[in-house]
Structure 1
Amino acid sequence: MEGKVEFHVPGVSASCQTWYKVVGDLNSPGSTPLIILHGGPGASHDYLLPLTDLAPDIPLVFYDQIGGGRSTHLPDRAGDEAFWTADLFVRELDNLLAHLNLRDRPVDLYGHSWGGVVVTAWASTPSSSTNLRRLVISNISASMDLHRAGIATLRKRLPEDAQAALDRGEAENDFTSPEYQAALEVFSKRHLSLARPWPPKEVQDLLQWAAEGWYVYTTVFGPNSLLPIGSIRNWTAIPSLPKIKVPTLVIDGAEDTPSEAMQPFFDLIEKAKWITLDNAAHMSHVDQREKYMKQLQRFLAA
């Protein structure tokens, strides 16, 4: 089932819509829907479609966040840091749950990468998350300071010519030169996805949709994943993590940002379980698809 829900965005006169897709039966007796939030921002749900492996036992709700995918695009808001906030996406999630009549029944929540920022904010707000049963946080640092430190560690492991190209591009504020893009690809093959041949379909989907929602990504994050200089630059989930009281699965790949970046989730969430998959990077659900899905199934069924 696919559909769109009206989403009133303060300060935007035109009607906005959030596109969503339901896989499975939301009304299946005894089942708890899993609401899936993609990364980006400005991307789409497509690269997370491997999660359909969890169906039909678990009803799944995919959706494209505002500014990305098949939902309303607002390119005139490019650069508006006061507009593209985590709170906007939290309100969008609330709006979608209300439309699907899921505000008064148990739900599970999954956030990958940027989606982890949104689900962490939502889950740590008691007034909005009273119906949350279980939470999955996948491949996201607990703060931008930890992300920057992790990226610095990974960059030092790159070949010297790739490091030099990245340093030169950033010094010259030129992120589109062939040399800089080639160095980014070297990094991506090591730390975005290990799947081969390169790029796997899911990476192609991610890059394609992110190119359309570029204005959201660059405003919130920056020119690329190595440089969090957008509105998210000072973000941290750490103070709010003790407020998350539901069982939480923290899952990542050994070749993603080093483990120190995710450690606070495990330390500060009361009922956290942490799994790191070997031979997997940021797209752990692609690199180790079978193992990843088994861990999700076990956690959600426990």
Structure 2
Amino acid sequence: MTTARTLAPADREGTVAFGEFETWYRITGEPSPGVAPLVVLHGGPGCVHDYVLTIADLAQRTCHPVIHYDQLGNGRSTRLPDRGADFWTPELFLAELDSLLAGLGVLDGYHLLGQSWGGMLGAEHAVRRPAGLRSLTIADSPASMELWVAEANRLRALLPPEVRATLLAHESDGSYDHPEYQRAMEVFYDRHVCRVVPNPPEVAATFAAIEADPTVYLTMNGPTEFHVIGTLRDWTIIDRLDRMAVPTLVVSGAHDEATEACVRPFTERIPDVRQHVFPDSSHMPHVEERAAFMELLAGFLAEVEGR
């Protein structure tokens, strides 16, 4: 078991062709006959895999290999900063996921864990009822962007008055890069995104990667977690959740920007679902309550595999 200050190293890294592009991946743990790997879908859209690397702990707790990858446009996968909004769609990332699963030879059996946007993507994958999917973990994800924005506005209203005024002033003129706006943004992030301050290196590295190439994040989400003006602003999966046919675990933090209202449709409409809320976490319980998160995840996969 890794300690709270270390990350499990990769046993293998490589790329899988996705049309004319390349998807980078890393695998922790060794494949075993009959053992389905866990594939981790990072958030954003527009993040990189680094901040969810703690989930590689699972490979040392169980026999399940853990597969991380950088989604197209991010990190070590092909970067496409000149592509427009019509290119960056959920359908693109669903096709990339299918390509990765086929390229790694795991289409016949795999578990998915999606964090934030990754949980939205995982849900989109699961409602198609792919034959090899054995379970889905939705971590800190909204069931619709309408719910996400409504709850973000509610949480914003609880910020100190001077912070709210700064956010509004800079959003009105689009000066999102202004240091004052960045400092005000951090107040929200420290409360509702990652309560481990300063952020662990892998989380800081992810924020730095978004800053270095914000193409996907700005296009699909917007300038911040709580100012959503991108192409995903009307996304919802609520009316399709009853199509899911695999055991599903829904997790979030008590201080999460993905609030109880955001995740409630998952717990009410997915046929085979269980839920856990981490009391001392916000949006990253896999970082904020790392040991408890891994224990819960290992137990869930053992339950599913025991069926």
Question: What stretches of structure 1 of length at least 5 have no aligned partner?
Answer: 9-14
2-side partners of 1:212 and 1:239: how far apart? 36
Give the SS at the match of 1:210.
Answer: helix
Letter in 1 for 2:182: Q
Aligned pair partner of 1:4 in 15, 24, 31: 15
Contact 1:219 1:230 in 2 (8 A): yes
1:242: Cα distance to partner?
0.6
Give yes or no for the alignment of 1:17 onto 2:28. no
Aligned to 2:271: 270
8 Å CA contact 1:192, 1:281 repeated in 2 = yes
Q: In structure 2, what is the Cα distance between the partners aligned to 1:43 and 1:210? A: 6
| CA deviation string 1:147-206 (max 9, x = no partner) | 01110111111111111111111122221212211110111111111113x122232021
- Residue by residue over 1:66-88, the C-alpha shift from the partner in whole angstroms, topping out at 9 and shown as x without a partner, is 000100000111xx221100000
Matched pairs, number: 289
Distance in 2 of aligned mates of 1:241 and 1:148: 20
For structure 1, which segment, 237-246 or 199-208, has the greater mean C-alpha deviation from structure 2 after superposition? 199-208
Asked whether 1:69 is paired with 2:75, we answer yes
- 2:290, 2:222 → 1: CA distance? 29
1:6 Cα shift? 1.0
Correspondence 1:120 to 2:123: yes
1:212 Cα deviation after fit:
3.0
2:6 aligns to what? none
Using the alignment, how far apart are the partners of 1:271 and 1:145 within structure 2? 24
5+ residue gaps, structure 2, are 1-11
User: Which 10-residue stretch deviates more, 86-95 or 154-163?
Assistant: 154-163
- Structure 1 counterpart of 2:15, one-letter code: K
1:45 corresponds to 2:49: yes
CA distance in 2, matches of 1:213, 1:51: 24
The alignment partner of 2:232 has SS state of helix
Q: TM-score, normalised by structure 2?
A: 0.92
Q: Match of 2:111, as an amino acid?
A: D
Aligned to 2:219: 219
Please say if 1:246 is aligned against 2:246.
yes
Alpha-carbon distance in 2 for matches of 1:211, 1:170: 18
Q: Distance in 1 between matches of 2:199 and 2:294?
A: 21
Q: TM-score, normalised by structure 1?
A: 0.93
1:252 and 1:281 in contact (8 A); partners too: yes
| Cα distance in structure 1, aligned partners of 2:69 and 2:213 | 15
Runs of 4+ in 1 over 3 A off after TM superposition: none
Please say if residues 111 and 117 of structure 1, whose CA atoms lie closer than 8 Å, have aligned partners that are also in contact: yes
Q: State the superposition RMSD in angstroms.
A: 1.1
Alignment of 1:41-190 (within 5 A): 41-56=45-60, 57=62, 58-77=64-83, 80-103=84-107, 105-126=108-129, 129-190=130-191
Question: Residue by residue, what CA displacement relative to the aligned partner does 1:56-110 show, whole Å, maximum 9, x if unpaired?
Answer: 3211111110000100000111xx221100000000000011111112x221001
Q: Is the 8 A contact 1:47 1:202 kept in 2?
A: yes
Task: Describe the SS at the equivalent of 2:206.
Answer: helix
